Amino acid sequence: MRVRFDCPKEGCVALIELEPLQSATGGIECPRCRTRHLVTLSEDILRNNRVDACALCGCRELFIRKDFPQRLGLGIVVVAAVISFLSYKSNLLLSWGVLAAAVVIDLAIYFVIGTVTVCYACRAEYRGTAANESHRGFDLAQSEKY
C-alpha cells in the first residue's frame, strides 16, 4: 500500500509519500526537514495489506472516501461552463449538451476510481489497501473528536 501525509513538524509543509508503506521499518524521513517519523507497522498492515490502525499516529479510527481527483473534476466543470456560456446564443443544443457531458464524465470518473482510507486524527492517506469492513464513510461527529 502507499501512504501519504503532511509532515507533522511545525513549519514544514512537505507532502510525504511512500510506497510500499511496509518497507518503512525504520520510520519515514521527511525529504525537506529531515525529521524521521516513526511508523508502526501492525500485523494487519504487514500480513494482510490492510489498515487496522494508522501507522503514523496509532489512531484506530479511519474513514473511507472516493479518491476523486477534485482538480480534474472541477476543471471539467469549469471548461464545460465556459463553452456552454459562449455557445448559449449561437447553439443552444451544444450549450446544454456540453453541461450534460461534463456531468456524465464526472460520474464516470467517480465510478472507476478507487478508494482511499484516511486517518481521522492525522489525516494520513492510505491507498492500494485491502478493504477493511469496519471502516465507514466520513462522519462529522467522529471527526470533531479530533
User: For Zn ion, which is the closer residue by CB, 37 or 80?
Assistant: 37
| d(C-alpha 134, C-alpha 61), whole Å | 9
| d(C-alpha 140, C-alpha 128), whole Å | 25
b/e burial code for range 3-28 (CB count within 10 A of at least 16 → b) = bbbebeeeeeeeebebeebbebeeeb
Question: What's the min distance (Å) between Cβ of 28 and Zn ion?
Answer: 10
User: For Zn ion, which is the closer residue by CB, 98 or 119?
Assistant: 119
Question: What's the min distance (Å) between Cβ of 48 and Zn ion?
Answer: 19
Interaction of residue 41 with Zn ion, rule CB under 5 A: no
Interaction of residue 15 with Zn ion, rule CB under 5 A: no
User: Which residues fall within 8 angstroms of residue 92, CB to CB, at 6 or more apart?
Assistant: none
User: Measuring CA to CA, which residue among 7, 13, 47 is closest to residue 29?
Assistant: 7
Interaction of residue 38 with Zn ion, rule CB under 5 A: no
For Zn ion, what does the binding mask look like between residues 44 and 83, x meaning CB under 5 A? ----------x-xx-x------------------------
User: Measuring CA to CA, which residue among 53, 50, 43, 1 is closest to residue 22?
Assistant: 1
Interaction of residue 116 with Zn ion, rule CB under 5 A: no
Binding site for Zn ion (CB under 5 A): 7, 9, 12, 14, 30, 32-33, 54, 56-57, 59, 119, 121-122, 124
